[in-house]
Amino acid sequence: MQEFDVVVIGGGISGLRAAVAAKRAGASVALISKTHPIRSNSGLAQGGINAPLGKDDTPETFADDTLAAGDGLCERSVVQSFAQEAAKEVLWLEQMGVPFNRDKDGRIDRRRFGSNRRN
């Protein structure tokens, strides 16, 4: 039986990101997915992925919007940490070849979700 340092379950964007990070850290990695990655829920999600990427965005307003969307169910410190890293991670995914929708100017498309987000 083959052995691995890390086994990642799920071939969506989070699973793929975790597998790449583990491999880059020197681990042997197995990725198990019930579907091909481009057929995962990440690829099918109509809600998309978002981050504070615009001139009108900040990690703080992104965190506030995420907390509001979570209707009080999110842990504030986790959301704030996530918001600080989100833009860097989305841009890394873009560099890795993830095909994002684009706006008319060729930038990663964003859409309003809550009261603090603007296109």
pLDDT tens digits, 44-53:
766 667 889 9
pLDDT of residue 117: 45
The string of pLDDT tens digits covering residues 76-91 is 999 999 999 999 999 9
Kindly state the DSSP code that residue 38 receives in the 8-state scheme. Answer: G
- The per-residue pLDDT string of the chain (119 residues; one tens digit each, 9 = 90 and over) reads 999 999 999 998 889 999 999 999 999 999 999 988 778 877 776 666 788 998 888 999 999 988 998 998 999 999 999 999 999 999 998 898 888 888 899 888 876 565 544 44
Q: Cα 9 to chain center, whole Å?
A: 16
| Cα separation, 53 vs 59, whole angstroms | 9
| Cα separation, 8 vs 22, whole angstroms | 9
User: What predicted TM-score, i.e. pTM, was given to this entire model?
Assistant: 0.73
The single-letter code of the amino acid at 39 is R
